[in-house]
Amino acid sequence: MALITGNKCGDEEMGALGLESEVAEARTAFDSGKTKGFEWRKSQLKALLRLLREKEEDMFKVLKEDLGKHRVEAFRDEVGALTTSVDNALLNLKKWMAPEKVSLPLGAVLTVAEIVPEPLGVVLVISSWNFPIGLSLEPLIGAIAAGNAAVLKPSELAPATSEFLAVEVPKYLDCEAIKVIQGAPQVAKELLDLKWDKIFFTGSARVGRIVMTAAAKHLTPVTLELGGKCPAIFDSLKSSRDQKMAVGRVAGAKWGSCLGQACIGIDYLLVTDEYAPTLIELLKGVIKEFFSNSEHLARIVNKHHFQRLCNLLQDESVAASVVHGGSVNAKELFIEPTILLNPPLDKEIMTEEIFGPLLPIITLKKIEDSIEFLRARPKPLVIYAFTHDEKFKRRIVEDTSSGCVMFNDTLIQYLCDTIPFGGVGQSGFGQYHGKFTFDNFSNRKPVGRRRFLIEFSFRYPPWNEKKLQLLRHIYRFDYIGFVLCFLGLKRYSYRS
Ligand code: NAD
């Protein structure tokens, strides 16, 4: 039995309670039915909003401590974005919970139906360290809105944030139904051994496989929010104003969000041989403009990841491709924004997710060749493309596959609650944000209703040709033919 840390109901020490009893308590809370009611959901969401407002400074502090995030970046990517999400959930909660009327085909005449969203039960949310508050609480918002009890396991690699969540969440939320359990992978493994009604995982594909394997034991549904190499295609934009704006957006997505440690950050750029020198100069300019003060950049999360990134650069052929930056500061866990031109495609920097401030630029003869380049690789979470060419845009949408396509901007799609967020193929599956999170944590249960007004005996044996004909009318949506045939006014008109 693993031990857990954190506080129970605010002040009372949780101590060494077992995982199982914590989860059992969440199950009891769910089984009591209290999480299903509108009032409970609303009160929990309001409490979460209060936490976000009252503890903003504390969150800035722990995000600075774990990741060196500037408070503005912390607000933009995590605290502020979450506030909008909770506001949105509160605003729409009644609508989301309401049964949805559906129309039925002729075959179900005199039947009515609706889709009733029901909570799944007790759900497990396992999150990653790079947006340790955002990626923990964003799924939780939908889990609560959908009426579930939930257990959150934040990442041990953001220890200050993990501790903050374990201490503060129980103070604000219903600590019987919503649990935060801190711990290393071993704790996550033990949690995965238990029975859940849904597992929502954000992290690497490697651990995603472990999660799916564990989920298979109980046939638990899973959502996997994974990573990968998100490319940005950079066409030679005509006006210098557009070029400058586009390069700023690339820099924002590569270095300006957790120093490149973002699943939707740009991993590498695709550009033509001809345009590459111009692009490199533009990038150097924007790095100087945005990031001269390194305090405005986050830090690499820990020594292990710092060393992993340094190792990528130490390969001789990769080192030779550095055209800007490359300096590192081990004490500060800092790597400066670095640009590489055509590092070998078979080296780790181009086969694995970089997850750091190294930006390879891969050159192609024609920008259209980028489609084949992408098709030959695993499906990414996002494909970014900077282009004015409408025909090319259509081809990117139609001829490639990814969790999302974003033209001429970066990252902003994450903040749009009205579009689903998620991966495809190796970048994961299952979608969330806004109503999509509510649906993710709900069973959309169809409920049909019929009265005993009349019986359609043609649905049952003994069979005859008239019954066959009536069924043909029904399955062809031929209402008039059906009525005429039913009343005996029309004989067989359809042949199969
Ligand atoms: P990770 O897979 O190492 O860890 C994620 C979580 O899994 C952590 O809470 C960790 O404690 C737990 N874990 C680790 N090993 C485990 C094991 N053996 N068994 C069970 N649980 C285990 O990922 P990470 O390093 O935290 O995050 C980086 C990865 O996450 C990158 O690949 C990134 O692209 C991806 N990511 C995806 C999204 C998204 O929304 N799609 C967001 C952020 C990060």
Reported as a single tens digit per residue, the pLDDT across 201-227 is 999 999 999 999 999 999 999 999 999
- Residue 301 Cα to ligand 1 midpoint, Å, equals 13
- Residue 224 Cα to ligand 1 midpoint, Å, equals 10
| Ligand 1 atom closest to 184 (CA) | 11
Which is nearest to 300 in space by CA: 325, 251, 327, 334? 334
User: Which of 126, 181, 204 has most ligand 1 atoms within 8 Å of its beta carbon, as the pocket-test mutant?
Assistant: 204
Any idea how long the chain is?
A: 496
| Ligand 1 atom closest to 131 (CA) | 43
CB 360 within 8 A of CB 269: yes
Q: What pLDDT is stored for residue 26 in this prediction?
A: 98
Residue listed under structure tokens 């039913």? 486
Ligand 1 pocket: which residues have CB below 6 Å? 126-130, 135, 153, 155-157, 185, 188-189, 192, 202-204, 207, 210, 225-227, 263, 353, 355, 381, 423, 428
Q: Which two tokens stand for residue 436?
A: 């999509």
Q: Which two tokens stand for residue 68?
A: 């060196």
Residue 496 scores a pLDDT above 90: no
- Write down the pTM of the prediction: 0.94
Residue nearest (by alpha carbon) to ligand 1 atom 18: 185
Active-site positions read 225, 263
Task: Looking at 80-133, list the stretches that DSSP marks H as alpha helix, in order from N- to C-terminal side.
Answer: 80-97
| Ligand 1 atom closest to 203 (CA) | 30
**Residue 477 pLDDT grade (very low, low, confident, very high; cuts 50, 70, 90):** confident
- Residue 207 Cα to ligand 1 midpoint, Å, equals 6
DSSP string of 170-221, one letter each residue: HHHS-TTTEEE----HHHHHHHHHS--SEEEEES-HHHHHHHHHHHHHTT--
The verdict on domain 231-422 having CATH code 3.90.950.20 is no
What mean pLDDT is predicted for residues 66-85?
98
- Enumerate residues 6+ apart whose C-beta is below 8 A from 84: 415, 417
Q: What pLDDT is stored for residue 323 in this prediction?
A: 98
What's the DSSP call for residue 419?
A: S
Distance CA 89, CA 434 (A): 7
Q: Please, where in the chain does CATH 3.40.605.10 lie?
A: 2-226+434-444
Q: Please, where in the chain does CATH 3.40.309.10 lie?
A: 231-422
| Ligand 1 atom closest to 157 (CA) | 26
- Enumerate residues 6+ apart whose C-beta is below 8 A from 156: 129, 162, 182, 183, 184, 185
Which is nearest to 1 in space by CA: 190, 179, 210? 190
**Residue 71 pLDDT grade (very low, low, confident, very high; cuts 50, 70, 90):** very high
- Residue 138 Cα to ligand 1 midpoint, Å, equals 16
Class of 2-226+434-444 in CATH: alpha beta
- Residue 329 Cα to ligand 1 midpoint, Å, equals 25
Q: What pLDDT is stored for residue 12 in this prediction?
A: 39
Residue 292 scores a pLDDT above 80: yes
CB 73 within 8 A of CB 259: no
Distance CA 269, CA 374 (A): 11
Q: Vertex 491, ends 487 and 494: CA angle to 5°?
A: 120
